[in-house]
């Protein structure tokens, strides 16, 4: 099929390249000519594992191009996907870019005798596609639905695993308001054998939020219990976690008697809180929507409250060893909100470092790829931090090492003599006995 995607951000570009990899002809449209030029030279403007290679491959087969001209792109297609940004404004989703794109497509629909399905891929609050987007297209085109099609096809991509998640998805949600759109989306996703669920667009929209909200809920729930364990003392929360993980409802037995160990268990490991561009924003958006509808949204409030204060736990526990961290030297390893990305949005490291600086600690920091973004996000206080490339060498100069992001290269810490250092493992990368000579501390585990 020929398809157009509006927006070459994370979702639009990964979706475009992966749809092309399955044999579709994709035009990704973006208003930024520099991005378009880069993409047409095979150089993605975002960091994602495997993306440069896949982009080169689909370009060499003539299956992918980037363009600035939406009208030319629409001439060739009968599906256009909206993958523009939906930033958060005080916890409320800002639909400005979605509406702008919908109006432009509406103008095209108004002046062409052609049926096009407009499929929203951006994460939008339930009811957006069948009300707001529909109205914007109707107004701009002067035509009423169903003289154009409406669909909603949420993405479930994890940064760092996005290509794999798209190529081998666990499910494909096809939200449709009309039969032609349903037919087109079925054809588009025919190369995939994953479970496909047909629903209306507002259900598709809520599936996306429910998915993220429930994962975020698990993280905050185990974090709250970890904080209880740390307050009690004499408990390592990981022993508690292991005990819970042996419940067969969390971790069923395979037919051969071994444990299945589903991936969901990794969201039940305590840490310094969730971050990124999705969980915090999506939980806030669903809370705001509920509140607008007059619901108390107690759960979502609690999930966010626990998460907001979770990075402070790192310092709370360190202060058992150093009641005053002023003047202490601290090395923070990992600045991205999770490994395999340079994304620092809502990264726990931002809050950890802010708190350390406020208490007068001397801070050095390392990340394999995210330091540049981190400096930008931290603003003026970035000048107070020593950003290092050789983190192993820096260890000799510090009192405390905090592992804040689970980058694989930090595993080598277990082979380094940490005599006299306090190692704070905020992501539970290590067993407490694994680190040579270090005083091991973590969320949910303080010195007795
Ligand atoms: C998340 C969802 O996992 C994707 O399914 C969804 O498509 C995406 O949001 C989105 O809405 O676009 P992402 O934000 O890339 O993806 O990151 P995750 O890998 O899920 O991590 C989110 C947070 O959960 C991170 O702060 C991470 O530290 C934490 N996490 C992640 C865990 O605590 N345990 C894990 O095993 C994985």
pLDDT 10s per residue in the chain (448 long)? 999 999 999 899 999 999 999 999 999 999 999 999 999 999 999 888 899 999 999 999 999 999 999 999 999 999 999 999 998 888 888 999 999 999 999 999 999 999 999 999 999 999 999 999 999 999 999 999 999 999 999 999 998 899 999 999 999 999 999 999 999 999 999 999 999 999 999 999 999 999 999 999 999 999 999 999 999 989 999 999 999 999 999 999 999 999 999 999 999 999 999 999 899 999 999 999 999 999 999 999 999 999 999 999 999 999 989 999 999 999 999 999 999 888 999 999 999 999 999 999 999 999 999 999 999 999 999 999 999 999 999 999 999 999 999 999 999 999 999 999 999 999 999 998 888 788 999 999 876 5
**Does 342 sit in the ligand 1 pocket, CB within 6 Å?**
no
Identify the pLDDT of residue 90: 85
Q: Looking at ligand 1, which residue's alpha carbon is closest to its atom 11?
A: 278
Report the separation in Å between the CA atom of 279 and the middle of ligand 1, taken as the mean of its atom positions.
Answer: 7
Residue 448 lies in a domain: no
Domain boundary pick from 141, 164, 198: 198
Q: By C-alpha distance, which of 434, 383, 384, 389 is closest to 413?
A: 434
Atom of ligand 1 nearest to the CA of 154: 7
SS3 of the chain: the string is CEEEEECCCHHHHHHHHHHHHCCCEEEEECCCHHHHHHHHCCCCCCCCCCHHHHHHHHHHCCCEEEECCHHHHHHCCCEEEECCCCCEECCEECCHHHHHHHHHHHHHHHHCCCCCEEEECCCCCCCHHHHHHHHHHHHHHCCCCCCCEEEECCCCCCCCCHHHHHHCCCEEEEEECCHHHHHHHHHHCCCCCCEEEEECHHHHHHHHHHHHHHHHHHHHHHHHHHHHHHHHCCCCHHHHHHHHHCCCCCCCECCCCCECCCHHHHHHCCCCCCCCCCHHHHHHHHHHHHHHCCCCCHHHHHHHHHHHHHHHHHHHHHHHHCCCCCCCEEEEECCCCCCCCCCCCCCHHHHHHHHHHHCCCEEEEECCCCHHHHHHHHHHHHHHCEECCCHHHHHHHCCEEEECCCCHHHHHHHHCCCCCCEEEECCCCCCHHHCCCCEEEECCECCC
Sign, CA dihedral 233-238-244-246, equals negative
The rounded Å distance from CA 26 to ligand 1 centre is 27
- Report pLDDT for 448: 59
Residue 291: how many other CB atoms lie within 10 Å: 15
Cβ 212 under 6 angstroms from ligand 1:
yes
User: Based on the domain organization, do 142 and 237 belong to the same domain?
Assistant: no
In a domain, 447, yes or no: no
Name the closest-CA residue to atom 33, ligand 1: 267
Q: Do 286 and 431 fall within a single domain?
A: yes
Distance in Å, CA 73 to ligand 1 centroid? 33
Structure token pair of residue 285 = 């958006």
CA dist 286 and 299 (Å) reads 11
Residue 218: the pLDDT is 97
Task: Answer yes or no: is the C-beta of 43 below 6 A from any ligand 1 atom.
Answer: no
Token digits of residue 299: 């759960």
Atom of ligand 1 nearest to the CA of 274: 26
Last residue of a domain, one of 138, 168, 198: 198
276 lines ligand 1 (CB under 6 A): yes
Q: Last residue of some domain: 139, 163, 198?
A: 198
What domain count does the chain have? 2
CA-nearest residue for atom 2, ligand 1, is 158
- In a domain, residue 334? The reply is yes
Residue 115 shares a structural domain with residue 259: no
Q: How far is the CA of 348 from the centre of ligand 1 (A)?
A: 13
- Ligand 1 atom with the smallest distance to the CA of 343 is 15
Report the pLDDT value the prediction gives residue 183, as an integer from 0 to 100. Answer: 98
| 103 neighbors 140 (Cβ within 8 angstroms) | yes
Ligand 1 atom closest to Cα of residue 337: 26
In this predicted structure, what is the pLDDT of residue 438?
85
Mutate to test the pocket of ligand 1, among 14, 125, 158, 275 (most ligand atoms within 8 A of CB): 158
Reply yes or no: is the peptide bond before residue 146 cis, omega within 30 of 0. Answer: yes
Q: What is the CATH number of the domain that holds 181?
A: 3.40.50.720
Whether 410 is in the pocket of ligand 1, judged by its Cβ within 6 Å, is no
Q: What pLDDT, on the 0 to 100 scale, is given for residue 263?
A: 92
pLDDT at 325: 94
Residue 137 has a pLDDT of: 98
Contacts of 190 (CB under 8 A, 6+ apart): none
Active site residues: 278
205 falls within a domain: no
Q: Please check whether residues 193 and 219 belong to one and the same domain.
A: no
The finding on whether 149 has its CB within 6 A of some atom of ligand 1 is no
Are 269 and 374 within one domain? yes
* Residue located via tokens 């939008």: 124
**From CA 373, how far away is CA 364, in angstroms rounded?**
16
Residues 293 and 163 in one domain: no
Ligand 1: which of 204, 214, 219 to mutate, most ligand atoms within 8 Å of CB?
Answer: 219
The contacts of residue 179 (CB under 8 Å, 6+ apart) are none
Pocket lining: 278 vs ligand 1, CB cutoff 6 Å? yes
Q: Does the beta carbon of 171 sit less than 6 angstroms from any atom of ligand 1?
A: no
**Is residue 446 assigned to a domain?**
no
Kindly give the number of the ligand 1 atom that is closest to the alpha carbon of 346.
Answer: 26
Residues 220 and 101 in one domain: no
Which residue's CA is the closest to the ligand 1 atom numbered 25?
Answer: 274
pLDDT at 91: 84
Q: Is 339 in the pocket of ligand 1 (CB under 6 A)?
A: no
Range of the domain at 245: 212-441
**CA-CA-CA-CA torsion sign (10, 14, 15, 17):** positive
Residues 40, 128, single domain; the answer is yes
Same-domain status, 182 and 266? no
Beta strand pairing status for 386-387 and 362-366? parallel
- Please indicate, yes or no, if residue 203 is contained in any of the structural domains: no
187 and 303 in a single domain? The answer is: no
**Distance of CA 312 to CAs 12, 243, 281, 429, Å?**
35, 26, 20, 19
Packed helices 298-321 and 348-358: angle between N→C axes, nearest 10 degrees: 50
In this structure, the answer to whether residues 68 and 130 fall within a common structural domain is yes
Q: Is 345 inside a domain boundary?
A: yes
Task: Classify residue 214 as left (phi > 0), alpha (psi -120 to 50) or beta.
Answer: alpha
Q: In terms of Cα–Cα distance, which of 21, 60, 69 is closest to 42? A: 60
Residue 204 lies in a domain: no
Domain identity same for 275 and 406: yes
CA distances from 43 to 50, 59, 420 (A): 12, 11, 46
Pocket test of ligand 1: the residue of 278, 307, 311, 348 to mutate, having most ligand atoms within 8 Å of its CB, is: 278
């Amino acid at each position: 099929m020929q398809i157009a995607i509006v927006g070459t951000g994370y979702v639009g570009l990964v979706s475009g390249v992966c749809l092309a990899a399955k044999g579709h002809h994709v035009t990704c449209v973006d208003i930024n000519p520099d991005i378009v030029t880069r993409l047409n030279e095979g150089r993605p403007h975002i960091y994602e594992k495997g993306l440069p290679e896949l982009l080169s491959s689909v370009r060499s087969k003539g299956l992918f191009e980037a363009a600035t001209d939406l009208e030319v792109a629409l001439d060739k297609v009968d599906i256009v996907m909206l993958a523009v940004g939906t930033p958060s404004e005080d916890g409320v989703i800002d639909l400005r870019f979605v509406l702008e794109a919908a109006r432009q497509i509406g103008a095209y629909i108004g002046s062409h005798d052609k049926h096009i399905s407009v499929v929203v891929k951006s994460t939008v609050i339930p009811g957006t596609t069948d009300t707001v987007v529909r109205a914007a297209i109707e107004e701009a085109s002067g035509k009423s639905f169903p003289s154009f099609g409406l669909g909603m096809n949420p993405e479930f991509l994890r940064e760092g695993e996005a290509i794999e998640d798209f190529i081998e998805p666990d499910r494909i949600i096809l939200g449709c308001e009309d039969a032609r759109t349903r037919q087109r989306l079925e054809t588009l996703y025919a190369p995939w054998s994953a479970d496909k669920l047909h629903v209306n667009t507002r259900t598709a929209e809520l599936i996306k939020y429910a998915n993220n909200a429930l994962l975020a809920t698990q993280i905050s729930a185990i974090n709250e219990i970890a904080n209880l364990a740390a307050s009690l003392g004499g408990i390592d929360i990981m022993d508690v976690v292991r005990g819970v993980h042996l419940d067969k409802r969390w971790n069923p037995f395979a037919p051969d008697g071994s444990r299945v160990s589903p991936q969901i268990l990794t969201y039940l490991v305590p840490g310094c809180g969730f971050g990124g561009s999705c969980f915090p924003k999506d939980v806030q958006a669903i809370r705001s929507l509920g509140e607008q509808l007059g619901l108390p949204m107690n759960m979502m409030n609690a999930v966010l409250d626990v998460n907001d204060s979770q990075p402070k736990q790192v310092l709370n526990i360190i202060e058992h060893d150093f009641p005053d961290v002023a003047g202490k030297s601290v090395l923070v390893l990992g600045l991205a909100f999770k490994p395999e990305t340079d994304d620092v949005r809502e990264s726990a490291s931002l809050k950890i470092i802010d708190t350390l600086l406020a208490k007068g600690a001397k801070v050095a920091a390392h990340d394999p790829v995210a330091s540049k973004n981190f400096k930008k996000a931290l603003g003026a206080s970035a000048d107070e931090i020593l950003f290092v490339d050789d983190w192993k060498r820096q260890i000799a100069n510090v009192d405390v090492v905090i592992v804040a992001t689970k980058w694989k290269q930090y595993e080598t810490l277990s082979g380094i003599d940490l005599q006299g250092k306090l190692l704070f493992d905020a992501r539970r990368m290590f067993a407490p006995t694994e680190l040579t000579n270090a005083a091991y501390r973590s969320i949910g585990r303080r010195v007795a």
